[in-house]
A and B are shown apart, each in its own frame.
Chain A
């Protein structure tokens, strides 16, 4: 079963625009992590937000977490063609540090 579900499944934007994707989950979590995956490549860790945090920034990335709604969002500001990739959220449990992934959002940034 998938703990995290991303929305939308696919997103197409122009370079310079912002991209927002959302992740919903079902059970309580210790943390939530976002990853990027370029086509045919491995996963790159973007950012981790703990369950007691509400917002976190890293460069052009902004992540929010609302534990009452069991949801998170990832915002990429001023997108670039190089941001074209699939983005995954993964919820982390304290026991075993295991992650449960959602199905991902495919982002296409058109130049």
Chain B
């Protein structure tokens, strides 16, 4: 599992409330990613990080912000949750192997916004 944990694993929250999801890795990987998975859409990249304090937007970044103050932690924040952000959120890291970067995923966080 590449030493990736996500917390919480399940969360139910109300529309308009802030929510922060945490991704923690133990193997000092430089690259970290947040994706969301919705039925019929596969996984879509929200934000990614290529080092401490270095982050960039992905395909579906609106309504989300991220922070990376330590190598091991990558936080995803929904400033004001909406029902359209109900989804399963996956964190990932990139690991260099055989000349290319392979991505490995955490177990996911199921978020329900009511």
Contact = CB atoms under 8 A, between A and B. Distances in A.
Label chain B's interface by main secondary structure: strand
A96 B103 CA distance: 11
B33 interface: yes
Nearest to A99: B103
Interface residues of B, number: 30
A101 B44 contact: yes
Interface of B: 1, 31, 33, 35, 40-45, 48, 50, 56, 58-59, 90, 92, 94, 97-108
B100 A96 contact: no
A98 B58 contact: yes
Given A4-B42, A97-B94, A99-B45, 15 more contacts: A33-B102, A42-B105, A42-B108, A43-B105, A45-B104, A88-B43, A90-B103, A96-B31, A96-B50, A98-B45, A100-B45, A101-B42, A101-B43, A101-B44, A102-B42
Interface in A21-48: 30-31, 33, 35, 41-43, 45, 48
